[in-house]
Amino acid sequence: MNKGDQAYEIVRVFSEMGIHRTGTQGDQDTFFWLNSELGEGGADFSFQTFPYHHFDAELSVWSAGKLIEAEALYYSFIGQRNLNNIATGIVDAHGDEDVISHEICCMVDAAKKDGFDGLVLATRCPTGGLCAINRDHRMDLDFPVVLVAQDNLNKIQTSGTKIFFAASVRKRMAKNVIARFSGPTGAQRVVVTTPISGWFRCAGERGCGLAIAIFVSRQLSKNFAVDLLLTSGHELAMCGGYHLAQSYNMKPGCVIHLGSCIANIDAKMTAICSADTLTAGRIASALERLSIKLSRPSDPTNAENWVGESKCWALNNWPTLSIAGIAPHFHARSDLPEVVTNPGLLNTAIEVIIDSALALANQGKT
């Protein structure tokens, strides 16, 4: 098999592990699989544990005598309640996360003021289905918020609904993965990082980035010492990424962050690089094959100038390349390998990102 076929197989296996939310069985099974996959590839494999707030919910939403697919908005409510008088609204689930949070807060405040006992939100997205929303445990609203697809919201508004909502939060431990490729003796160190937790089976959201990160790390390890850092807690305000970046005690030559939806069909991608002008130009030329335009941050130490887990590394001010984006099946149950990617897309992405990573790692060398 060529690289694209091999990468697709990684995406397929990752997706078949099941739901990849932090703390799920799929999350745990992924660690055992990665231990085998990366260990056989010559990496020194270890875990880093960190605390997080685990959200459990029991939710049932009925309308017109039928059970409707729904998700409890993480951390929105703790306790148990039958919802009989709900407010409704719509949120752009593929919008900016800060904007989404602000809009939800405003709708919750309005619902409380008007005497409703819960809020049902349609998550507008290209597929028309239900999309999940990333959440920080510090965003507690103390008000039940239920997410549904837009078509189901229309049913609820027409026929009414009966909702049972019960939720709890408890502190648990999660894991990040650290896979070290030793490289040649005395070689410069490079960080390659990508998150491995997310919503549903997240083949495109997480699986593609993981597969590409593995190939990039193996290629770089021919000339560099590579730390492949795979973080959990992405959907929970990137808590694993922040924990790992803040505890990382080495000084690499550069950081390569591979985020969501790389090599996804119809993806809209962003690339940001804090390299010198010459190196950034080389990377921009490589990324043209993926139709990705490169930008340079005005202040590399400001996390707001980055995306995804690259925000976690901003204060270090190390040369960084971050590639991430969004695609139609992002955060949806339909994010499955056969729908979101193919071996050809993956093969091209691997070639382009290897070229870009080598340009960054060799910055300043003639």
**CATH label of the domain that carries residue 339:** 3.40.630.10
Q: Residue 366: inside a domain, yes or no?
A: no
Asked if residue 314 and residue 233 are part of one domain, the reply reads yes
Tens-place pLDDT, residues 98-127: 999 999 999 999 999 999 999 999 999 999
- Expressed as residue numbers, the domain containing 322 is 3-53+173-361
Tens-place pLDDT, residues 294-343: 999 999 999 999 999 999 999 999 999 999 999 999 999 999 999 999 99
Q: Residue 183: inside a domain, yes or no?
A: yes
Asked if residue 105 and residue 21 are part of one domain, the reply reads no
3-state secondary structure of 298: coil
Look at residues 122, 149, 171 and tell me which one is the last residue of a structural domain. 171
Q: Which residue has the higher pLDDT, 53 or 365?
A: 53
Asked if residue 46 and residue 62 are part of one domain, the reply reads no
In the predicted structure, residue 40 carries a pLDDT above the cut 90: no
Q: Residue 247: inside a domain, yes or no?
A: yes
In the predicted structure, residue 366 carries a pLDDT above the cut 60: no
Among 305, 292, 296, which Cα is nearest to 276's?
296
Look at residues 171, 203, 225 and tell me which one is the last residue of a structural domain. 171
Q: Beta strands 268-273 and 320-326: pairing type? A: antiparallel
Where residue 92 sits, what CATH number does that domain have?
Answer: 3.50.30.30
pLDDT of residue 94: 96
Tens-place pLDDT, residues 5-34: 999 999 999 999 999 999 999 999 999 999
Tens-place pLDDT, residues 264-295: 999 999 999 999 999 999 999 999 999 999 99
pLDDT of residue 171: 96
Token pair of 288 as six digits: 């043209």
Mean pLDDT for the chain overall: 96
Look at residues 119, 154, 171 and tell me which one is the last residue of a structural domain. 171
Asked if residue 112 and residue 75 are part of one domain, the reply reads yes
pTM metric for this prediction: 0.96
Asked if residue 225 and residue 99 are part of one domain, the reply reads no
Q: Residue 320: inside a domain, yes or no?
A: yes
Give 146's strand partners. 72, 120
| Contact present, 153 and 122 (Cβ < 8 Å) | yes
Instruction: State the total domains in the chain.
Output: 2
Model confidence at 39, pLDDT cuts 50, 70, 90, reads: confident
Asked if residue 185 and residue 302 are part of one domain, the reply reads yes
Tens-place pLDDT, residues 130-182: 999 999 998 877 999 999 999 999 999 999 999 999 999 999 999 999 999 99
In the predicted structure, residue 41 carries a pLDDT above the cut 80: no
Asked if residue 302 and residue 177 are part of one domain, the reply reads yes
Q: How far apart are CA 136 and CA 76, in angstroms?
A: 10
Asked if residue 184 and residue 150 are part of one domain, the reply reads no
Asked if residue 166 and residue 181 are part of one domain, the reply reads no
Q: Beta strands 162-181 and 225-231: pairing type? A: antiparallel
For residue 66, the surrounding DSSP H or E stretch is strand 66-67
Asked if residue 92 and residue 40 are part of one domain, the reply reads no
Asked if residue 104 and residue 77 are part of one domain, the reply reads yes
Give backbone dihedrals phi and psi of 361, rounded to 5 degrees, phi first: -65, -30
In the predicted structure, residue 42 carries a pLDDT above the cut 90: no
Q: How far apart are CA 147 and CA 63, in angstroms?
A: 14
Asked if residue 77 and residue 41 are part of one domain, the reply reads no
Q: Residue 158: inside a domain, yes or no?
A: yes
